Chain A
Amino acid sequence: MDKVYKAGAKVAQFLQFLGNAVTKRIFRLGFAARFFVAIFLQSGTAFRRFNLTSREVYFSGVLSLIIILVSGLFVGMVLGLQGYDTLQRYGSTEALGILVALSLVRELGPVVAALLFASRAGSAITAEIGLMKATEQLSAMEMMAVNPIARVVAPRFWGGVVSMPLLAALFSAMGVLGGYLVGVKLIGVDEGSFWSQMQASVDFQKDILNGVIKSFVFGIIISWVAVFEGYDADPTAEGVSRATTRTVVTSSLAILAADFILTAFMFTGA
């Protein structure tokens, strides 16, 4: 009888733990959704005083340029090598330009740039807002009758949203340059066919615009996750560190999931 009671208590304890974990996450998701709406409602200052937003474009966009440009160049160079190796089996090495360009503008540009942006800028935004919270700077701002969502959060959010498509475009451009250097200059693919085939096959709306839309959506996801995690961080050193880690993990997974959904809508069918 005693054993039955003990087993029952363990099951109840497990269910309690499970229920607690699930409800906590649902509450947090609800808070994140309300926070997202609050950012939009409080975005007036970020647009009216655009210098606040452009400062954030500098911090999250311009300061991410090195990692984005260097990574783009190397990804393009690897694509050039791998693409040439595959295409030569079918005797169509002149299509290397198309392969490099389409891979970059459709997929690798937006996704890899977004993953890098989440690690470089997203984590920095979370850490900054989290530390402002831990050192009572956000409370001080509230006591000065200045809304921290309007003054601190919204400019950082829009700074990230504006930066992301620009960084993805630069990543793709550098990737194409890397593919060109390896394919044309190093291996010796015909320069004319590399560029002309690329020009003929890459469609502005279907390929480039869809890539831009993807990177815009990724920008919203990363910026939202970053500002929310910073604002919701426990105001301790450990809390900020955890929030920063969560930003990178959550936004990376969300980018990959969103990429699959967007690709399914954009590139399937005709």
Chain B
Amino acid sequence: MNRLIIGRYFPGNSLIHQLDPRFKLIFVLYFIGLLFFLDGMILQAIFFILTLVIMVSTGVSLKTYVRGVRPLIWLILFATILRIVTTRGGAIYYEAGFLTLSEFGLVSGAYTFLRFVEMIFISTVLTLTTKPIDLTDAIYFLLKPLRYLYVPVEELSLMLSIALRFIPNLLDETEKVMNAQKARGMVFGEGNLLEQMKALTPLVLPLFAHSLKRAEDMADVLEVKGYKSGAKRTHYRALTWQVKDTLGVGLLVVLTFVVMTINVFG
């Protein structure tokens, strides 16, 4: 419980781990974008294999990735089935009103399914191989231009990093309060929905009270440590862009080119 980290970062030393988080973030967003422009079997195959290669090279077991898909499986299946029954074309196997089961429908259903799964896989790669704090820094970097639109990017990134920092503490506290209430005869997870929700009150209230107290303490700490919102600050952590990251950008360019070529001539 103590070491639980949001996004479940897996420490490691693979090539993917070593890449700059800024690059990884850009890559994932761009890759997901490209997934929507895949026409035909060849491209689907290329991207599926590429996703698998990236996943394997992180050194994290495939089981972990599959577990990432599980909570969303119903959503994916729903989208897939919707796609299958609403697309018509090619040989038609079954028809009921506006719903059909057709050759094209099955193919595009399969593609939809693949696209969802690849999207989840590739973003899982990002969270598994990047420390949350590095990811925060990467987000900060990408949002930096918004400063010119008076978006408080610096403050947002500090907020995000403090929030990340307190998640393990909050989990610990939840457990403590739960145990304290259990010791006083409270039963969690029993009865109907309403009863279960009621049972949460003695859990949530102390947590809230404590969080407020902590927020107050934190404000004092921020102040004595000289933090002033809006003031200029220097940065201790620095992300380093390496040759590998530039090569990675090269890969993105090549991929874009391949997608365009096959879509036009294939």
Chains A and B are bound partners = no
Residues of A within 8 A of B (CB): none
